[in-house]
Amino acid sequence: MKLSDKLIGLLIGLMKNSAQKGNLANSGLVLEDNKLLASAESLVASGHDATAHSERVLVAKVCRLKKQQLYARVADDFRC
């Protein structure tokens, strides 16, 4: 799928906003049926949360929108 200029502009704007807050210049989008469902930027520094990368923030937003929970398990053996 090719992103429209509007969506690319949204990503760039989110990246700039993130960087201006002292975060990494990261952003993301989730599309459903070719429509924007959610967007997010990195909030690690400004939110004082080392886990608040744009991808994780985006997944949390989508889960809230869909009223679903996401469960993840961290491997006990970090060599894997």
Predicted pLDDT of residue 68: 79
Specify if 78 maps to a domain: no
Regarding pTM above 0.75, the answer is yes
Specify if 50 maps to a domain: yes
| C-alpha atoms less than 13 angstroms from C-alpha of 54 in its C-beta half-sphere | 20
Specify if 80 maps to a domain: no
DSSP string for residues in 16-36: HHHHHTTS-S-EEEEEETTEE
Contact yes or no for 41/20 (Cβ under 8 A):
no
Number of domains in the chain: 1
Query: At 42, which CATH number?
Result: 3.40.140.10
Q: Which of 60, 13, 18, 62 is nearest to 41 (CA)?
A: 18
Q: Which pLDDT tens digit goes with each residue over 29-38?
A: 999 998 999 9
Q: Which pLDDT tens digit goes with each residue over 1-54?
A: 789 999 999 999 999 999 999 999 999 999 999 899 999 999 999 999 998 999
Predicted pLDDT of residue 57: 93
| Range(s) of the domain holding residue 43 | 5-66
Choose between 44 and 76: higher pLDDT.
44
